[in-house]
A and B are shown apart, each in its own frame.
Chain A
C-alpha cells in the first residue's frame, strides 16, 4: 500500500508542477487543517486543546499572554506592578479596548472573569491556576488589584493560559457557541463537523492582522491530510499528523516543514506506591533499561528530543539529565537482582490511543523484556485511561505525553496518579512560589528536575515533536508550541 501511495503521490506531484500552482487573486485568506474539532469554543470551560488552537490569541486575550518562545508578554494588561512581598499585583489595563459585540472592556470585566473562574460552581478546567487568588479589586476602570494568599512566582504566566482569558458578563454564557473576545480576529461561523471561520476585527486596539479571514478545517484522518495539502484545499497544517509521508512532503519545494518542540513530555508513568515500583532500585533498573533513541525511532514519525526529566528542552531552565541513568541493560539486571528480582517480574502497561503510546509501548516492552520484566500490553481508550489510570490509579505502568506547559508542579500533588511523595521536592516547589526573580527561579527549576530524575519517578523518554507544514509563501506561523495554540496575529502571505 505504501508503494502505491508513493507512486500515486509522485505522479500527482509531477502533474501539479506541470500545471503550476493555482492562482490566488488577493491573498489574505488562509485555510488551516486541524485534527480535532473543538467541543465548543469557550476556553474557560474545557480542557480540549482544540479550543485554544482556534481562539487563543486570535479571538480571546488575557491579562498576559504566552509568546512563541514560551515567554510572558503583556496583553490586555499593558503593564503591572508587584508589591515587595510578592502578594499584590496591580495591573494597568489598555485603553480603547472593545469586545466584539461592541461592549467596552474595563476593570469590571477582569474582576468578573477571575471571580467566575474561581467560583464554587466554576467548570474551569484549570481552576488550580486561580487557587492562590485571595481578592480581586477594581481600583478604577483602568486598574485592577489582585491580592494573593501567598506569593506565587508563576502567577503572571498562569494569567497567560487560555483558561484565564477575559470574558464579558454579557456574553460569558454564550461563548461556547458564539465566542466574544477582545482579540484581533472575530468569530464568524462554525459549520459543525466541518470548519470554523474567523475574520479580521477592524476595531482591534492593537496592530491590525494581515489575514482578512482564516478557516480552520477539521480533518480527523491522517490519510486524508496529505491529499488535502497536495490538492491545495488546505494551505497549512500547524500540527500535521504526517506519519511516514514526512519525507515526501519535505522534498516538495511548495511546502515549508518545521519540526518544533511541544510541551509534551512523553513518559513511562509509574505507579510509585505499588510494589515493586515503590522500590527505587526497580525504578532505576527501568530507567537503565530504556533506550531513548530506539523508542523515538519507533514512534510514528520518528521525531522527538530525548529527555531525562519532566521539563521541556525548549525552556531556558531545562537541564539535560539524560545521563542520570544511561542505557545499560546489564546494570538494570544487576539493580533488579539487588532489589530481590533476579529473575525479573511481570507487570502491565496500559496504552492510550496515540501512536507514541501504542507504537512506543511495543518498543518499551521489548526493552524491558531484555532485562527480565515481562509486560502485558493493555490498549485503553482515552475515557478509559482517565477513569482507570488517572482517577483510580489502577495501573502499573502507562505511556502518556504530558502536554500542559510548565507542569513539573504535578509531582508535588499528593493525589496525582504517579503516587509520588518527596518532601524535598515539595520544599523546592514552595520556594518557587515565593520567588519571582527569573534567575533564581530557573535554579530552583533545575533542582526540581534533578530530584525527580534521581528518584526515577517515571521513565523519562522524549519530548513530543510538533510537525508544522505550510505553504512556502506563508510566514509568521509558530515553530514551537509553548502552549497549544495557532497564533495567527503575525501570519501573512509573502506575495
Chain B
C-alpha cells in the first residue's frame, strides 16, 4: 500500500513539473505585450518600456522561469501585472468562492447521481428507469451555460428567491454567500450528475448480474443490503474513475459558470488574466488547477485500493 501510494505521488509530482514547463512556454509563445495592453494604443513607446521594466519583463526567459518556479516552491507566486498585488492574495480571495462552489457541486453531483443510478439499476426496465434515463439524456445534452440562464430566469427574475448573480462576500455571513452559490452549483452539477447517474446505472447492472449477487440473495440477505453493501461496493470503481474526471470538468466549467453568474472566482480570474496577458497570474492559477486535479486523481487512485483490496498489493 505504501509503495503504491508513493508511486502515485511521484507520478503526480513529475506531471506537475512537466505541466509547469508547458504552461510557462505556452504563455511565452503567446503573442501580446502586457505593458502595451495596459497602456493602450495612444501610449508613447518610452512609457511602455518604463512599464515593462517595472513589471520585470525585460529579464531573460529562463531566469523568469526559475524565479517563478523557485518562488512557487516556497509559496511565493509573484505579483500580478495588472492588479499589482501578490498573486497568492488574489488567488486566496478567489478560491474562497471557487472552492466552496466546486465542493458544493461535487456534493450535489454525488448525492443526486449515485442514488438515481442505483434506483434505475434496481428497477431496470421499469417505467421509472426509462423516465430517469430520459431525463438524464436531456441533462447530458444541455450545455451548462444555457441551463444556468434558465435557472436565473426562473429563480432570480421570476420567483426572486435568489440574486441573479454576483457574490456578497463571506463577510456578509454564511447564508447570503451560500445562497449566491446555490444556482451556480446546481447549474454546474446537474449536467454532470446526468452523466454520472448513467455510469452508476450501467456499472450496477453489470454487478447485479454476477454470480455472487445471486449467492447473496440465495443465502437470504435482504434486497437493500445486497444492493448497497455487495453490489454498490463493487460497482464503485468505474463510478470513482468518472467522478475523478468530472472534477476536472467541474473546474473547467467554473470558468463559464462564474462568467454567467459574475462570481469573483478562479475561473473568472483566469479568463480575465488571459485577455489582459497577466501572464504570472495565468501561469500560477493554471498550476494550482493542475495540482488540484492531480491531487483529486491521487485520492481516487488511493480510494481504489480501499475499495478493491487486490490493488493494494500492486
Contacts and interface: CB of A to CB of B under 8 A. Distances in A.
B275 A383 contact: yes
A383 B47 contact: no
B42 interface: yes
A126 interface: yes
A69 interface: no
Given A193-B93, A223-B260, A8 B153 contact: yes
B262 A386 contact: no
A192 B93 contact: yes
A48 B46 contact: no
B264 A191 contact: yes
A384 B43 contact: no
Contacts of A228: 164-166, 262
A124 B35 CA distance: 11
B262 A217 contact: yes
A126 B34 CA distance: 17
Interface string B149-164: 1101110111010011
B167 A194 contact: yes
Given A40-B83, A217-B262, A382 B38 contact: no
Interface string A158-182: 0000000000000000001100000
A221 B268 CA distance: 11
Interface residues of B, number: 56
Size bin of chain A's contact surface: 35 or more
Given A1-B146, A220-B268, A224-B260, A15 B42 contact: no
B167 to A, nearest CB: 6
Interface string B41-60: 11110110011001000000
Contact of A386 (B41, B44, B146, B169): B41
Interface string A230-255: 11010000000000000000000000
B166 A194 contact: yes
A123 B264 contact: no
B39 A46 contact: yes
B36 interface: yes
B37 A217 contact: no
A233 B163 contact: yes
Interface of A: 1, 4-5, 8-9, 11-12, 15-16, 37, 39-40, 46-48, 120-128, 176-177, 191-195, 217-221, 223-224, 227-228, 230-231, 233, 381-384, 386-388, 390-391, 404, 407, 410
Interface of B: 30-34, 36-44, 46-47, 50-51, 54, 82-85, 90, 93-94, 145-146, 149-150, 152-154, 156-158, 160, 163-167, 169, 259-265, 268-269, 272, 275-277
Given A120-B46, A125-B47, A224-B152, 15 more contacts: A1-B146, A16-B157, A122-B47, A122-B50, A125-B42, A177-B85, A192-B94, A193-B264, A193-B269, A219-B165, A221-B260, A383-B30, A383-B277, A386-B36, A391-B33
